[in-house]
Amino acid sequence: MRAVQFDYVDPAFPATLVDVPEPELPGPTWARVAVTVGGICGSDLHLFGSNASRSPTLIGMAGAFPFLLGHEIAGRVIEAGPQCAVPVGARVAINPCIACAARGIEPVCANCARGWTSSCLNLDSRIATGGRSLGYTQGLGGGWAQQVLAHDTMLHVIPDVVPDRGASLHEPVSISSHGILRAPPHDGDPVLIVGAGIIGLASLAALKGLFPANPVTVLARHPHQAAAAAACGADHVVRTETDGSHFAALAELSGARVVGRKADVMLMGGYPYVIEAVGVPQSVTEALRAVAHRGSVLLLGAAGVSEVDLTPVWYKEVALVGSIDHTVDAGSAPGFAGEPGRHSVDRALDILAAGLLPDGVVVTHEFGLDDYRAAIETAIDRQNAHAIKVVFRP
């Protein structure tokens, strides 16, 4: 089968389109999925030298090289092991994390026993496969491939109303839903989302499905992102200005006032809940400067090593909240997707089924695997290409 592999074979471009053998099912509870859509994630672009900061901590935990790319995956089951709970023919969204149950580890680790599969202590164990998740390993396929293998605990049936074109959007919406329920906002409190790329827009959709009474302001860098945020139901959209003058608009919307000078300003008052959805130093600093005293900043942008202004953390007594991946969240929320004890991928599929993140708005580009270089370059060049979510249709 064909797949895009991260391998540095070509010095000019770190990934290659390769032919690899179709992998065999690792066990009776696994399934083979024909990939119908595989998204390009911002964390994938870190590998290609985009402007996001990398994490040397995670690079040191990598368990496979070279590896097959693509962790935002949806498809159709074409082979199921005799004990797989999902039948052949089912359309499925895939949770890419390969936790203890999928690796056959017994007893499961302490975090999996708590239900915290996104924090599985054996993701780097190299048991069953080298990588921590699909998209970072060998021998299981990937989202940028014709096929992928997944354990039945990783499979979630897609509602009929969710089209194939937008089905891989479950991954960023699940990321956002789990993050929000890690430390939820108070019902009705205004929320600021810093960034209107796919994680920012997915966070907007998740908030509308979990906390519909909370007014949401989105801070957008590019005009096409601002238009997408408005189309996805943002209550207010503010454009980022290089001189920091957008803080005046944020102050007016939140009932705060601006303190500081030139571009080094922050809000006195501000937003009780802020989601950082970009992962670059400027956006992390902006989130901290815009949050209200004793408010919360949820870090969803996967920031790595970077230089940020931490002054607001102690000056405003701010709570920083980290989150990663997908899991069952015990907490609840007042919206239709807020029932306690549900998996974040299932919440995300309900949010997509409700039309809160329309693929016609956010899936801006589709490519075949042959055009993988153009796809990656388009995803990186958000400004000129007007890209939001770029997907492969293997």
Class of residue 120 by CB neighbours under 10 A (exposed 0-12, middle 13-18, buried 19+): buried
List pLDDT tens digits, range 100-153. Answer: 999 999 999 999 999 999 999 999 999 999 999 999 999 999 999 999 999 999
**For the chain, what are the domain ranges?**
2-157+358-392, 181-324
CA distance linking residue 363 with residue 259, whole number of Å: 38
Please, what sign has the CA dihedral across residues 30, 34, 36, 42? positive
Q: Parallel, antiparallel, or unpaired: how do β-strands 271-276 and 291-299 relate?
A: parallel
Nearest to 118 by CA among 106, 132, 130, 104: 132
Write the class of the CATH domain 2-157+358-392: alpha beta
pLDDT the model gives residue 59: 55
List pLDDT tens digits, range 205-246. Answer: 999 999 999 999 999 999 999 999 999 999 999 999 988 999
Share of the chain above pLDDT 90, in %: 88
Which CATH number is 181-324 given? 3.40.50.720
Question: Is 8 a residue whose pLDDT tops 70?
Answer: yes
Distances (CA, A) of 62 to 16, 124, 288: 19, 7, 30
Cis peptide before 107 (omega within 30 of 0): yes
List pLDDT tens digits, range 372-387. Answer: 999 999 999 887 889 9
List pLDDT tens digits, range 175-198. Answer: 999 999 999 999 999 999 999 999
Q: Parallel, antiparallel, or unpaired: how do β-strands 291-299 and 319-322 relate?
A: parallel
pLDDT the model gives residue 62: 58
Share of the chain above pLDDT 70, in %: 96
Range 79-90 average pLDDT: 98
Residue 136 in tokens:
């970072």
Who contacts 79 (Cβ-Cβ below 8 Å, separation ≥6)? 25, 31, 32, 88
- What are the DSSP calls for 369-394, one per residue? GGGHHHHHHHHH-HHHHT-SEEEE--
